[in-house]
Amino acid sequence: MTDFLSRRAQAIQPSATFALSTKAKELKARGEPILDLSLGEPDLPTPAPVVEAAHRALDEGHFGYTPTAGVMPLREAIARVYTERLGVEVDPSMTMATQGGKQALYQALATVTDAGDKVAILQPYWVSYLEQAHALDLEPVIVPCPAENRFRPDLDALKAALDDGVKAVILNSPSNPTGAAYDREEMARLADLILQSGAVLISDEIYEDIVYGPEGHVSPLHVRPELRERCCVVTGLSKGFAMTGWRIGFSIAPTWWTQAMIRLQGHTTSHIAATCQQTAITALGRRDLVEGLVEVFRRRRKRVVPQARTLPGTSLFDPEGAFYLFLDVKELIAGSSAMDDSKALAEWLLERHHLAVVPGEAFGASGHLRLSFAASDAVLDEAFQRLDEAFAQL
Ligand code: PMP
Ligand code: GLU
């Protein structure tokens, strides 16, 4: 029956993050003592004032269709908040609400590329960039961000990709999975290369709230505001507000681009739930709520980084943003006759040690494991104990 499937559909791989967390949930439901550090989602509840806003939206009867991009008060709220956060004038016509950041990314990519076009993807990359490129019949051009370079892109490789005619570059700072967050100088160097090229930039800033350094989040628009003519910023409420399941994302892009994305969305999902739009208006007015959540991640990072550093045969990049540890396990694997790669290691950890983590292969970076520290202290302590015992057996 798979003969019926298009080549495009056959090329799309399942989301490794969702596949793993689904498996972990199934094992847990069967009574296995699973610890799940696979999925990147805050373990904390959505802040109460935001939940109350959702109740209010239901009571007020926001049940019907809305304009595709979202109701005007929502677009105005996005414009107000991101004019301040990005430091460039954002008009409501440059904004739209999407089913999570993921839909915004897909629409941004779909509206600036045609089948066969090249898209630059920085590696290690988040799982969905490559598969979205496959879904759109694009040719991914991989730009390495070596660990020796603190997961910053090889600028010569990026320049070569741009010279080779890539249509779009996808950037993700703070990065999932590495936790790298570029500073102003690094961002400016990158932005300049894009400005000198004929490419557009899709800047995935979904982790904009979760940055640990004193400089805070750096958007390419902070350092090169002139990029706004061809930059689509993708963000949303999933991470900073602990609202992953609500599916509320935003894009901020020039009007020409936004209009095309609205046309596309008008034929696919139409718009995000009317009640979620009302809820998002409240959340956008309460950025103070984010700080409490970020403080929790800040504290956890301080706890888990030293714990991870004691694991035998591994090394760790200290995450500058987001909530992942990207553990280098190459030495551990090289010293073990039982393990061929990090995929096998992750499978073994799940089956034998009941610990779900994502292998680096999912991000184009074999030899690594990604551990989400968006979990409770108790779960994290136990997870590190299991890792310690497991690695000692290899
Ligand atoms: N970009 C990155 C880098 C992510 O990690 C995620 C994870 N959720 C997304 C985009 C998509 O976010 P959302 O859940 O809002 O679709
Ligand atoms: N982005 C999160 C992760 O990488 C959630 C899963 C997903 O959206 O793929 O784990």
Tell which atom from ligand 1 comes closest to the C-alpha of 41: 8
What does 69-135 look like in DSSP terms, one character per residue?
Answer: T--HHHHHHHHHHHHHHHSS---GGGEEEESHHHHHHHHHHHTT--TT-EEEEEES--HHHHHHHHH
Which residue, judged by its Cα, is nearest atom 3 of ligand 2?
A: 40
Which pLDDT tens digit goes with each residue over 36-63? 999 888 999 999 999 999 999 999 999 9
What's the pLDDT score for residue 21? Answer: 87
Give pLDDT < 70 ranges for the chain: 1
| CA 286 – ligand 2 centroid, Å | 25
Which residue, judged by its Cα, is nearest atom 3 of ligand 1?
A: 176
Residues with a CB atom less than 6 Å from ligand 2: 15, 17-18, 39-41, 127-128, 176
First to last CA, the chain: 42
179, 239 contact by CB (below 8 A): no
The CB density around residue 392, as the number of other CB atoms within 10 Å, is 10
Which residue, judged by its Cα, is nearest atom 7 of ligand 2?
A: 17
Which residue, judged by its Cα, is nearest atom 1 of ligand 2?
A: 40
What's the pLDDT score for residue 19? Answer: 87
Which pLDDT tens digit goes with each residue over 280-335? 999 999 999 999 999 999 999 999 999 999 999 999 999 999 999 999 999 999 99
Q: Which helix (H) or strand (E) holds 372?
A: strand 368-372
| CA 278 – ligand 2 centroid, Å | 25
From 98, 208, 239, 241, mutation site for ligand 1 pocket: most ligand atoms within 8 A of C-beta: 239
Residue 69 has φ and ψ, to the nearest 5°, of -75, -10
Tell which atom from ligand 1 comes closest to the C-alpha of 126: 3
| CA 171 – ligand 1 centroid, Å | 13
Residues with a CB atom less than 6 Å from ligand 1: 40, 100-102, 126, 172, 176, 204, 206, 236, 238, 244, 249
What's the pLDDT score for residue 75? Answer: 98
What's the pLDDT score for residue 138? Answer: 97
| CA 321 – ligand 1 centroid, Å | 14
| CA 141 – ligand 1 centroid, Å | 21
Give Dmax over CA atoms of the chain in angstroms: 63
What's the pLDDT score for residue 152? Answer: 97
What's the pLDDT score for residue 1? Answer: 65
